[in-house]
Each structure stands twice: as C-alpha cells, then as structure tokens.
C-alpha cells in the first residue's frame, strides 16, 4: 500500500504534526469562544479539524461537522444541516419528534433505505421557505444542547454562505448564534479574502464574532521526518536535502507533498533505483503530463492580461501593485492588475497569503513555466 495519502481528510498515520494548532482549537472551543480558521485550499484545515473533533469528543462535546460546499439553496441547507445535527443525537426517534415541534414549516420523518436502515428525511410543508423555518433550524442545536451536553458546530467552507442570498443569511445566523449559550462555532474557509472580509470588516454581521486563526505550512523538519519514516516502511531512504527538494517541488503545500511523494513511491517500487532529486523531478513532470489537458484548458480560459499576470507571478508575487512591478512585467494601470488578480483569486488559481500572491497549484506553476 502506498504510504502516502492525498484524498480529503487524512488521519494518523498519514497525518502529522499540527499539535499546537490542534490544542489551540480545542482550548478555544472548549472555552466557549467561536473560532475562524483560514488557509488556502489543501493546507490541511479539514484534516486538522477532524483531529480536534476527536479530542473534543473525548471531552464529551457533541461535534457537528457541516460543509457548506455542496449547499446550493436554503432548502438544501435546511435538509443537510438538520441531518448533520440529528445524526449526532443518540435517540433518532426522539430527536425527530422534538425537531417536529421545534421547527416550523417542515415535517421530519424517518424512512428506511433498501437495507432497512433508518434514515432521516424532511418534507417542506410550504412552497416557500419562511424566515421562521430558517431561524428555528439555526436555533435547533441550542434547543437540543444543555449545560451538560454542549454542542460544537463546525462550518467548513463557510464563505459559501454567500450562495444563500448573501448578507441576509449572514445577519440572521449571526443574530441567532450570539444568543446561544450551549453552542460554540468554528468556521473554516479556503477563500481567505472572503472570510477575512466577513470577520474583519466593521460593516459585516460577523465582525468580531470569533477569534481568528491562520494555518500556515507544515514545519519543514516535521515534513522531513514524516517523509523519512513513510518511505522507510518500504526500505526507501531519503536524505534531508532530497526531502527538502521534494517539499519545494510541492510548493510546501501538504496536499501536494503527499501527492508527489505518492508518485515517487509508485515509481520506485517498480524499480530498484535509489531515491534522488532526478527521480523527484521526473515524477513532478509526470504529474504535469497527467494533468496537462486540464491545465491547457484552464490556461486557455484566462484573458490575455490574466495570462500575463500568471507569468509575472511565476517569477515574483510580492509588491504586485507597485510601480516597479508594473514596469518590470510591463503591466497596465494598477486598477487593471487589481481586477485581473481578483478574478484569478476568485477562481482559486491564485492564492493570497498576507500580501503575497502565488499560484496555488505547484504543478500548474510547473506547467506554466513549460508552456507560457
């Protein structure tokens, strides 16, 4: 079995480090404070929060994890959110009953799937979802919690609430949760600029509603250790400088580190060669080849100015709005650059951490330096 994993959520032994961050999450939430965790995609937010959930559950908190990504309407939110809440109740029958009396406008019920397993489902009694139904759903955890049975709600990809008719929903959620006594919230998100605005902008509902925490890259020495140990399971040795090379090729992003390491492992098990930087480079090129159709299409979709910016970002991502930067890369007015960069960020191609802009996918970067 490949000793590396790069699906969505990774657990031990594929997960390493992050213990200070995990502790901070656990202590903040168990102290009753709301928390926002943000970092670009694939830095390991969801995996980390599942690690924290394990700890919190040991402390008897009920943790409800809810991902906003698949939500596309208020109905779909109500349906999926109530499912997530009820799934954590020990007595489903009783929970469905109390939900029926606590939430206006819906008829919760238990249906049986093909294998006879009970499942929760709801019908809406009216065509239009009323504000009241939404309010009741948001208050449901508080009604089901108690001093002894506190609930922690984790909203993943929280910036996606913008899809639910934006700020109205945000205001409603905020106004409800600030009165809840036994429920604490954690918000995760990848679109850092959207989340930042949501929690740091004085005019927004969630201004000051939670502590902010940013997730950075994994510490290099921990990653080196992890690579050594995982490769060692297949009797492959990797020295420090080769490990550092691998980390660099993967942009020091947890997901890409595991992806590249998995490819390298795959390559090596079928040969008897030693692991060196040439092999890592071959595997990195192999990943670009595999994805090149997608990368071509992605590149093609960008406006010519965006393409130009991508090329500049390959070389430098600092001070991108300065006059020197514009001169160096022959860019147009700052406002034009700002607009184009915003589109690239919105589309998830470019990430922004503090004032640095960078191409999120190190293999797309590699592709660009090959073709652009």
Ligand X SMILES: Nc1ncnc2c1ncn2[C@@H]1O[C@H](COP(=O)(O)OP(=O)(O)O)[C@@H](O)[C@H]1O
User: Rounded to a whole number, what is the distance in angstroms from the first to the last CA of the chain?
Assistant: 37
Q: Which is nearer to ligand X, 106 or 224 (CB)?
A: 224
Q: How many residues bind Mg ion (CB under 5 A)?
A: 1
Q: Which residues bind ligand X (CB under 6 A)?
A: 5-10, 14-18, 39, 41-47, 190, 254-255, 258
Choose the contact partner of 358 out of ligand X, Mg ion, none; CB within 5 to 8 A by kind.
Answer: none
Nearest distance in Å: CB 84, ligand X = 17
| 47 is an interface residue for Mg ion by CB under 5 A | no
Integer Cα distance of 251 and 124 in angstroms? 47
**What minimum distance in Å lies between the beta carbon of 45 and Mg ion?**
5
Q: Does the protein bind Mg ion through residue 184 (CB under 5 A)?
A: no
Please pick, from the candidates 5, 28, 34, 46, the single residue that binds Mg ion as defined by CB under 5 A.
Answer: 46
Q: Which stretch binds Mg ion (CB under 5 A): 43-51, 70-78, 307-315, 347-355?
A: 43-51
Distance CA 208, CA 294 (A): 40
∠ CA 55-58-60, nearest 5°, is 120
**DSSP structure class, residue 248:** H
Judged by beta carbon distances under 5 to 8 A according to partner kind, the member of Mg ion, ligand X, none in contact with residue 5 is ligand X
Question: Looking at beta carbons, which residue is closest to Mg ion?
Answer: 46
The H-or-E segment that residue 155 falls in is strand 151-156
- Please give the Cα distance from 293 to 225 (Å, whole number): 34
Minimal CB distance to ligand X: which residue?
44
Q: Which one of ligand X, Mg ion, none is in contact with 312 (Cβ closer than 5 to 8 A by kind)?
A: none
> Considering CB distances under 5 to 8 angstroms, the limit depending on partner class, which of ligand X, Mg ion, none binds residue 17?
ligand X
Nearer to Mg ion, 5 or 150 (CB): 5
- Report d(CA 275, CA 283) in Å as an integer: 11
Selection from ligand X, Mg ion, none that 18 binds (CB < 5 to 8 A by kind) is ligand X
Residues 349 and 364: their CA atoms lie apart, in Å, by: 9
Q: What is the dihedral of CA 28, 29, 31, 35, to 10 degrees?
A: 50
Q: Is 82 in the site for Mg ion (CB under 5 A)?
A: no
Tokens of 201: 């902008």
Nearer to ligand X, 8 or 336 (CB): 8
Write down the least CB distance from residue 184 to Mg ion, Å: 20
| Residues ≥6 apart with Cβ < 8 Å to 67 | 156, 157
Smallest gap from Cβ 218 to ligand X, in A, equals 6
Q: Which does 258 bind (CB under 5 to 8 A by kind): Mg ion, ligand X, none?
A: ligand X
How many angstroms separate the CA atoms of 114 and 234, rounded? 42
Question: Segment near Mg ion (CB under 5 A), from 38-46, 128-136, 265-273, 338-346?
Answer: 38-46
Q: Quick one: 69 or 342, whose CB is closer to Mg ion?
A: 69
Query: Applying CB under 5 A, does 192 fall inside the site for Mg ion?
Result: no
Closest distance between ligand X and the C-beta of residue 114, in Å?
Answer: 31
Gap between the Cα atoms of 256 and 65, Å rounded: 25
As measured in angstroms, the least distance from the Cβ of 156 to ligand X is 7
Whether the bond into 13 is cis, omega within 30 of 0 = yes
**252: phi then psi, degrees, rounded to nearest 5:** 55, 35
Binding of Mg ion at residue 28 (CB under 5 A)? Answer: no
Distance CA 35, CA 8 (A): 22
| Alpha helical stretches, state H, the chain | 19-30, 45-58, 74-87, 92-102, 131-144, 166-177, 192-200, 220-232, 240-249, 254-269, 277-300, 304-315, 323-328, 334-346, 362-371
- Please report how close the Cβ of residue 41 comes to ligand X at its closest, in angstroms: 5
Closer CB to ligand X, 136 or 157, in the complex? 157
- DSSP secondary-structure letter at 36? E
For residue 42, the partner it binds in ligand X, Mg ion, none, with Cβ less than 5 to 8 A by kind, is: ligand X
Instruction: Return residues touching Mg ion (CB under 5 A).
Output: 46
């Amino acid at each position: 079995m490949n000793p590396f994993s790069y699906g969505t959520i990774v657990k031990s032994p594929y997960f390493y480090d992050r213990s200070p961050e995990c502790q901070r999450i656990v202590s903040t939430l168990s102290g009753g404070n709301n928390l926002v965790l943000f970092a670009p995609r694939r830095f390991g937010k969801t995996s980390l929060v599942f690690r924290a959930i394990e700890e919190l559950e040991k402390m008897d908190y009920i943790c409800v994890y809810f991902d906003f990504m698949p939500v596309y309407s208020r109905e779909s939110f109500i349906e999926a959110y109530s499912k997530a809440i009820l799934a954590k109740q020990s007595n489903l029958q009783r929970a469905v009953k109390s939900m029926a009396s606590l939430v206006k406008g819906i008829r919760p019920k238990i249906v049986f799937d093909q294998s006879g397993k009970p499942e929760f489902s709801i019908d809406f009694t009216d065509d239009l979802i009323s504000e009241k139904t939404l309010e009741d759903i948001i208050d449901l955890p508080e009604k089901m919690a108690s001093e002894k049975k506190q609930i922690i709600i984790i909203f993943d990809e929280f910036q996606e609430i913008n899809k639910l008719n934006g700020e109205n929903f945000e205001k409603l959620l905020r106004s409800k949760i600030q009165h809840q006594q036994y429920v604490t919230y954690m918000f995760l998100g990848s679109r850092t600029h959207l989340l930042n605005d949501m929690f740091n902008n004085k005019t927004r509902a969630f201004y000051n509603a939670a502590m902010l925490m940013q997730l950075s890259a994994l510490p290099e020495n921990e990653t080196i250790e992890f690579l050594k140990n995982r490769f060692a399971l297949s009797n492959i040795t990797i020295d420090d400088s080769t490990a550092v090379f691998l980390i660099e090729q993967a942009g020091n992003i947890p997901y890409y580190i595991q992806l590249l390491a998995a490819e390298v492992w795959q390559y090596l098990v079928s040969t008897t060669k030693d692991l060196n930087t040439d092999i890592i480079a071959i595997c990195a090129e192999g990943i670009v080849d595999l994805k090149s159709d997608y990368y071509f299409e992605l590149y093609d979709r960008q406006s010519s100015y965006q393409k130009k910016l991508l090329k500049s970002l390959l070389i430098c991502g600092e001070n991108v709005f300065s006059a020197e930067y514009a001169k160096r890369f022959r860019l147009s007015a700052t406002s034009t650059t700002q607009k184009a960069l915003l589109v690239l960020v919105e589309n998830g191609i470019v990430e922004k951490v503090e004032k640095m802009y960078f191409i999120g996918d190190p293999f797309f970067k590699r592709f660009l330096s090959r073709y652009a």
